[in-house]
Amino acid sequence: MMIGVMRVALPLVAVIMTACTVLPRPEPPRVMDLAASVSQTEFQQPLPVNIRVDTPLASEPLDSSSILLKPTPYEFQAFSKARWRDSTPVIIRDHLARHLRDSKGFRNVIIDTSPAIAELTLLTELSAFHIQYDGTDGAVNVELHAEFVSNRDGQSLCLRSWNIQEPSRGTDLDSVVQAFSRASNTLATEFTLWSRSCVDQPHTSAP
């Protein structure tokens, strides 16, 4: 009896294993990043100050690596076969720090993972980083609040908020990521100019 069961079971196992090998494997997600602007602000001489750029504060679902879209005002969705290379706050931090460094406007620009000492810290809150659709048209929405703080006494030096809208030239992933990059570069350019102005006049709030 046992031999008969084994004779039936062994071919069945072989069929199951064969079936498993022909099942389609899920495609690996595309890993996306923000493209930096080819033309960036550059100053003639750096200011003698070190700046630390903290990772922006953000809540779910922004605090994730999902590339977010909002088909309605009430719902977030995500591109299923793509993600950012890191969490959204980290890529925004890295993007802003890169622009500040490339501007050559400051003695040194570090991020919050560095043990180096800085005189000033840039604190930010990210409240929007998604593409929103209105009918067939889509636009990337980026909202960021920033504050310069003195590390010596904790004094708040400058405050500013941004709400940037950048139309997408299509609904496909590449067009959407390009729109994210354009919006982020607009933000980074204005952020760099504001940062320079704040450090030049550290006790005056920037407009």
Question: Longest Cα pair distance anywhere in the chain, in angstroms?
Answer: 92
Structure confidence at residue 8 (pLDDT): 44
Is the per-residue pLDDT at 18 higher than 50? no
The band of 22, judged by pLDDT with boundaries at 50, 70 and 90, is: low
Residue type, 176: V
Distance between CA atoms of residues 36 and 102, nearest Å:
11
Give the pLDDT score at 98. 95
Q: Can you tell me whether residue 60 is helix, strand or coil?
A: coil
- Could you give the C-alpha distances from 57 to 62, 87, 110, in angstroms and in order? 9, 11, 17
Three-state secondary-structure class, residue 194? helix
- Is 82 in contact with 30 (CB distance < 8 Å)? yes
pLDDT, mean of residues 159-175: 95
If you search the block for the tokens 């209105």, which residue do you land on? 134
In terms of pLDDT, which residue wins out, 79 or 23?
79
Residues in Cβ contact with 23 at an 8 Å cutoff, skipping those fewer than 6 apart: none
Look at the pTM and tell me if it is higher than 0.75: yes
Question: Where does the pLDDT of residue 23 fall: very low under 50, low under 70, confident under 90, or very high at 90 and above?
Answer: low
Q: Please state the CATH superfamily assignment of the domain spanning residues 2-200 in this structure.
A: ABC-type transport auxiliary lipoprotein component (3.40.50.10610)
More confident residue, 14 or 148: 148
Better-scored residue on pLDDT, 9 or 82: 82
* Coil vs helix vs strand at 89: helix
Residue found by looking up tokens 């779910």 in the block:
60
